[in-house]
Amino acid sequence: MDRRNFFKKSIAASVTVGSYLAFGRYDEVLAFPQTPFDLVAIKGGEPDVMFDKGIEALGGMKVFVKKGQKVVVKPNIGWDVTPERAGNTNPKLVGRVIKHCLDAGAKEVYVVDNTCDEWRRCYSNSGIERAVKDAGGKIIPGNSESYYHDVKIPKGKSLTSAKEHEIILNADVFINLPVLKNHSGTNLTISMKNLMGNVWDRRFWHRTDLHQCIADFATYRKPDLNIVDAYNVMKSNGPRGVSVEDVVTMKAQLISTDIVAIDTAAAKLFGMKPEDVHYIQIAAEMKVGRMDLDKLNIKRITV
């Protein structure tokens, strides 16, 4: 199978990075780009237009993606629901992010998620599979344990190891693209929780200490860029939702390299205290990122 052959060749070609991964030393091989703002908050437009404005304020996608690099974009594609239900990341935003990456010179842009519902239906009915292909990206499955490899999480307290998807392990640039929504187990799903779709065994997280495990995994590899989709927001009955009655239209978006700052801002946008989303508080205490938004340089844009 071509996809499997690609994975094998990619891993073989990444011996140096792989040696770091084996010891969980991602912090020594990743250098985050300097941006003019710590966080950009955009409101009032369509998802693709808001992203155009937001990424421009950060200097453009070329700040994050260099020519010839392999990019992995991780939306939320966990649920077999249509876009208006807001259970998954808005497909218009996914497609636009891919286009910006390719325009910046990316060699390949891959999209993946370890879905909760049946993966083929999630990919199709979310509208994301079509958006990825139309934008020139490649969407790949996350439904088999054979795609995942053991990694150590040396700073973890409850979660000290995990199995992460090989395409993410091999990425030159990793972009986290969650949707903001209600969640019955953690109050909110945002950027850090979206990383649960990177790994194979999520049951351990749920039966151990879900909030601590989410924060622990965020110490392992912080995404190069986080983009929170808050165009349509599921306010109740998350994470899957029951109907469009659970959804409000906010027409908002957040962009930041700081995964704690962006989740803090998203919680406030939702109408919650960030401290009530315990993994945000825990991650801040573990120095993953910052909650003190009043001390950050924030750019606000109205479309």
- DSSP letter at 293 equals G
In this predicted structure, the answer to whether residue 18 has a pLDDT above a threshold of 90 is no
In this predicted structure, the answer to whether residue 26 has a pLDDT above a threshold of 50 is no
In this predicted structure, the answer to whether residue 257 has a pLDDT above a threshold of 80 is yes
| First and final C-alpha spacing in the chain | 45
In this predicted structure, the answer to whether residue 19 has a pLDDT above a threshold of 80 is no
In this predicted structure, the answer to whether residue 25 has a pLDDT above a threshold of 80 is no
How many CB atoms are located within 10 Å of the residue 298 CB? 15
pLDDT bracket for residue 283 (50, 70, 90)? very high
* Residue 32 confidence (pLDDT): 67
pLDDT digits (tens, 9 = 90+) for 78-119: 999 999 999 999 999 999 999 999 999 999 999 999 999 999
* Token pair belonging to 257: 């390299």
pLDDT digits (tens, 9 = 90+) for 149-191: 999 999 999 999 999 999 999 999 999 999 999 999 999 999 9
Mean pLDDT computed over every residue of the chain: 91
* Residue 33 confidence (pLDDT): 77
Of the candidates 275, 171, 182, the residue with the CA atom closest to the CA atom of residue 225: 171
Homologous superfamily of 38-302: LarA, N-terminal domain (3.40.50.11440)
- The amino acid occupying position 264 is T
Q: Residue 244 CA to chain centroid, in angstroms?
A: 23
Mean pLDDT of 282-298: 97
Mean pLDDT of 269-282: 97
In this predicted structure, the answer to whether residue 9 has a pLDDT above a threshold of 90 is no
pTM above 0.85, yes or no: yes
Positions of E strands within the chain = 39-43, 70-75, 108-111, 138-139, 148-152, 161-165, 173-177, 179-183, 187-189, 225-234, 247-256, 298-302
* pLDDT over 70, % of the chain: 89
pLDDT bracket for residue 16 (50, 70, 90)? very low
Q: What is the bridge-based pairing of β-strands 225-234 and 173-177?
A: parallel
More confident residue, 11 or 157: 157
Q: What is the bridge-based pairing of β-strands 39-43 and 247-256?
A: antiparallel
Name the phi and psi angles at 254, rounded to 5: -130, 145
* Residue 5 confidence (pLDDT): 45
* Residue 202 confidence (pLDDT): 92
In this predicted structure, the answer to whether residue 292 has a pLDDT above a threshold of 80 is yes
More confident residue, 283 or 27: 283
* Residue 31 confidence (pLDDT): 57
* pLDDT over 90, % of the chain: 88
* Residue 230 confidence (pLDDT): 98
In this predicted structure, the answer to whether residue 29 has a pLDDT above a threshold of 70 is no
More confident residue, 34 or 25: 34
Contact call for residues 142 and 197 (beta carbons, < 8 A): yes
Distances in whole angstroms, Cα of residue 122 to Cα of each of 6, 143, 234: 23, 11, 17
